[in-house]
Structure 1
Amino acid sequence: MADAKAQPQLVAADALDPPPRRNRLNFFELAYERIEAMLIDCQLRPGQQLTMQDLQDLTGFGRTPVHHAVSRLAADTLILVRPRHGLQIAPIDLARERMLLKLRRDLERFVARLAAERAGPTHRNQMLHMARLLRDKRNEMTLAAFNPLDRRIDQMILSAAGEPFLEHTLRPLHTIFRRIGHLYHSYIATPDNLHGTVDHHLALLNGIAASQVDRAVAAADELVDFVDQMFDGLEQRIDPSLLDSSIAPLLPR
């Protein structure tokens, strides 16, 4: 009889509990992705000064998700927090970022190897599907369409590699070099140069999907080499004000 009486009390106690806030983490991640995308395509210009309220207005997210996203991006060295002076979008230092590309090379080789060794049938199917999509859209691919696909490719490969630590290490590097790619393709490259970007990603996806370690590692190296050559054009031809908006442009835009 004691058990029979206890059960309704337990149910009643449960009924008083507030429903779980299942969307909170989604808002955090969505705010991060939105601000990251604005960094990559330079809607948030390198060197730009702004406030937390500015980011709330630009993204449409509230204070807590935006604060969470800014904390992550500050840890990634993409946003600088200036006490009593607000926020600054980190200027682009081409020498520093070219040096960081050496770190990315070593990490990408390691990830490609792990992914080729560990990818299961689901990972391989996802990569082959993405490869078909890239091939089908290659001739009409725009930078705006490619960058979200590039993010998904990175997520697929990291998932196949199966080492969570690598995502935290590579995520900011991927963001840094997507921004470099945006500047290069927007101001330096000829329109058909996006074909090279697509082709290098195709080679990487196909190498991992085929479980061919040497082929995957070689494709990772060639992709980093492709990014490295972007710096030559940027160093010689980019207006410095596009790397740091606090610098006056050399020519009116």
Structure 2
Amino acid sequence: MAARKEKPKLAALDALEPPPRRNRLNFFELAYERIEAMLIDCTLKPGRLLTMQDLQDMTGFGRTPIHHAVNRLSADTLITIRPRHGLQIAPIDLARERVLLKLRRDLERFVARLAAERAGPMHRNQMLHMARLLRDRRESLTLAEFNGLDRRIDQMILSTAGEPFLEHTLRPLHTIFRRIGSIYHSHMPGQHSLDGTVDAHLALLNGIASSQPERAIAASDGLIAFVERMFDEMEETIDPSLLDSSVEPLLPH
């Protein structure tokens, strides 16, 4: 009888136990991804000033996950923490990010080679499936949908390369350039079509899936060249207020 009486107490104690740590870490990652997405689509405009509480209200996450995410994004140079003054979304400095593009080119070439050399049957099937998805949906893809697929492609390639250090290095670079791409396709005249970037990604996926390192590297270089052309056009014609919201716009958006 005594043993039967203890069971409800044990169940009650179990119910009071804090959730497993992995759940807490999931909240940290989800908060990071939510803010990262808002940076990319410029819901959080470059140059904007805000507070931790603003991010809590916008994302629905509590103080601890937001604090963790902001610290990571600060290390990624995407958010600047200003003690006693809150936060600032990093403005876009095209000259600085041209320099970072050179770093990204070298890293992406290394990743493309590793991925092509190490891709097994499962990886190749994933790449070919993603390539079919891009081809089938290219006419109807929205920019937000493409950015979601682009993120999955980056994760897929890094996973295939099998070197965790590369993910920590490349992920913030991917976010930086995805944000620039969003502004380019949203605001540059005549550049709403995603055909150019879709073609570049298809070439990269097919190069890795075919286990041809040199083909994969050439495709990676082609993708970086596409980004360089974006920079050329943006430097000539982009409204500076789109790169830094603290700048007075040249024309009403």
What TM-score, normalized by structure 2, do the two folds share?
0.92
Offset of 1:232 from its aligned partner? 1.0
User: Paired residue for 2:116?
Assistant: 116
SS in 1 for 2:88: strand
User: Paired residue for 2:148?
Assistant: 148
CA deviations over 1:178-234 (Å, ceiling 9, x no partner): 011011101115256310100110010011011001000000000000001001111
User: Paired residue for 1:247?
Assistant: 247
Distance in 1 (alpha carbons) for counterparts of 2:13 and 2:155: 39
SS in 2 for 1:203: helix
CA deviations over 1:132-163 (Å, ceiling 9, x no partner): 10000011222111000000000000000000
SS in 1 for 2:250: coil
Distance in 1 (alpha carbons) for counterparts of 2:221 and 2:193: 18
- 1:48 paired with 2:48, answer yes
User: Paired residue for 1:136?
Assistant: 136
SS in 2 for 1:155: helix
Distance in 2 (alpha carbons) for counterparts of 1:20 and 1:242: 42
RMSD: 1.7
User: Paired residue for 2:69?
Assistant: 69
- 1:200 paired with 2:200, answer yes
What TM-score, normalized by structure 1, do the two folds share?
0.92
Where do residues 85-234 of structure 1 align in structure 2 (5 Å cutoff)?
85-190=85-190, 193-234=193-234
Distance in 2 (alpha carbons) for counterparts of 1:25 and 1:210: 36
Deviates more, 1:108-117 or 1:243-252: 243-252
Task: State the AA in 2 paired with 1:181.
Answer: G
Distance in 1 (alpha carbons) for counterparts of 2:124 and 2:113: 14
Distance in 2 (alpha carbons) for counterparts of 1:95 and 1:134: 31
- Any conservation in 1 of the 2:115–2:162 contact (CA below 8 Å)? yes
User: Paired residue for 2:5?
Assistant: none
Offset of 1:119 from its aligned partner? 1.0
- Percent identical: 79
Task: State the AA in 1 paired with 2:200.
Answer: H
Distance in 2 (alpha carbons) for counterparts of 1:252 and 1:202: 36
> 4+ residue stretches of structure 1 with deviation over 6 A?
12-15
Offset of 1:24 from its aligned partner? 1.0
Deviates more, 1:152-161 or 1:134-143: 134-143
Gapped runs of 5+ residues in structure 1?
Answer: 1-11
